[in-house]
Structure 1
Amino acid sequence: MTETGQKAKIILQQCLSARLQVKPPEGDTPGEFVEIARGLVVYVCFMKSATKDIIQKMVKSIMNVKLSTDEDGATLSILDLPGSVLIVPQATLGGKMKGKVMQYHSNIGKTEGLEFYTEFVTEIEHTLHQSKKSKEANCVVKWGTYGNRQVLSIVTNGPFTHVLDF
């Protein structure tokens, strides 16, 4: 796939737990966080050439790829594990180095990107909640705030980090 035809980029990070600050502290008000236990952290970036039909393909790939392991070492998908999902909007994945600086000219616009991101989160939630194992294990989907800088903490037993280009 050529870079100009790239529609999205995803990084998957297996985790034992993850915590993401979604709202910074203001004055006396502490910051707000979302967190998950064992599962998958999904970093996502949409490019200018993205169309909404790519979202289903992305979700299917993420939820069915076998990256996690059980106690016996068998490789499982996040649905088979079962595990939770933390989605982190990550516009920097679309960056290209020019000289000594990064440029983000290939990224989708902010308004359209928020629409894609919102639909992506909704589809991940729908897929996880359709899984009987995930329901029984009280697995959750949490997500970051699109367009904001956020603080992330991950505990991993890897690192098992994988890049998917769409």
Structure 2
Amino acid sequence: MVSCYISRDSLNDFVVCNSKTTDAIGYHRISTVVLVTDFFKVMAGEAPSQRGRVVMQQCLSARLQVKPPSDTEEAEYVEISRGTVIYICFLKGADSSTVEKMAKATMNVRLSESENGKFISILDLPGDVLVVPQATLGGKAKGKMMQYHSNIAKEQGLELYNAYIEQTRKILDGHAKWKEAACTLKHGTYGNRQVLRMDTNGPYHYFEF
């Protein structure tokens, strides 16, 4: 049996939450975020439709290759200091509303550990942000192979990825503490193979939208 409840979160949208663990007051902690239109699927024990997946990883530093070396040019990199790395993948059915929810959630979720051990958002830390397009998050194992039938078309994915970057930049620039700290937003190149080096200081967190 799937236990769930409906609540209104900071994104001003109804969400359904389900998890095997509960907090002190008996509500289920959010482990999966789904649209309210999927409520009856959840109640019936069916998997809700997904439009995007995100993995967030705290870091002390990260360096991402965005252009491989050639015979005439050296490789190009983007770098961040302490902050968070966000791996992002769009699935079929994703649209501008998906982008808005993902941007608001990733910027406001309290996963960054402050100096006193309290978990706060990347905005309030404040810290750098590195966004990495990661189409493999849409994969599903079938036998010994991985399939990616749920992934959005490359052209649409690029459009949504760029929209996510812009939406995230607006949220970051609109936060006084983050902007005053002169933090930075960097991102990878959509559709290209990339090389990442990272020093982490915490576990990763997985989200479905």
TM-score in terms of structure 2 length: 0.76
Cα deviation, residue 71, structure 1 = 1.3
The one-character-per-residue Cα deviations of 1:110-137 (angstroms, maximum 9, x if unpaired) are: 0000000000011111111111111111
Q: Secondary structure at the match of 2:89?
A: strand
Cα deviation, residue 28, structure 1 = 3.6
Match of 2:82 in 1: 38
Match of 1:111 in 2: 155
Match of 2:205 in 1: 162
CA contact (8 A) 1:4 1:49 kept: no
Moved over 2 A (4+): 1-4
- Is 1:17 the counterpart of 2:61? The answer is yes
Q: Secondary structure at the match of 1:53?
A: helix
The one-character-per-residue Cα deviations of 1:81-117 (angstroms, maximum 9, x if unpaired) are: 0011100000000001111111111000000000000
CA distance in structure 1 between the partners assigned to 2:86 and 2:201 by the alignment: 16
Q: Secondary structure at the match of 1:16?
A: strand
Structure 2 alignment gaps of length 5 or more: 1-33, 35-45
Cα deviation, residue 29, structure 1 = 1.3
Q: Which has the higher contact order (CA 8 A, sep 6+)?
A: 1
| Matched letter for residue 118 of structure 1 | N
Q: Greater Rg, structure 1 or structure 2?
A: 2
**Identity value in percent:** 55
Alignment of 1:33-112 (within 5 A): 33-112=77-156
Q: How many residues align?
A: 165
| Matched letter for residue 132 of structure 1 | A
CA-based RMSD: 1.2
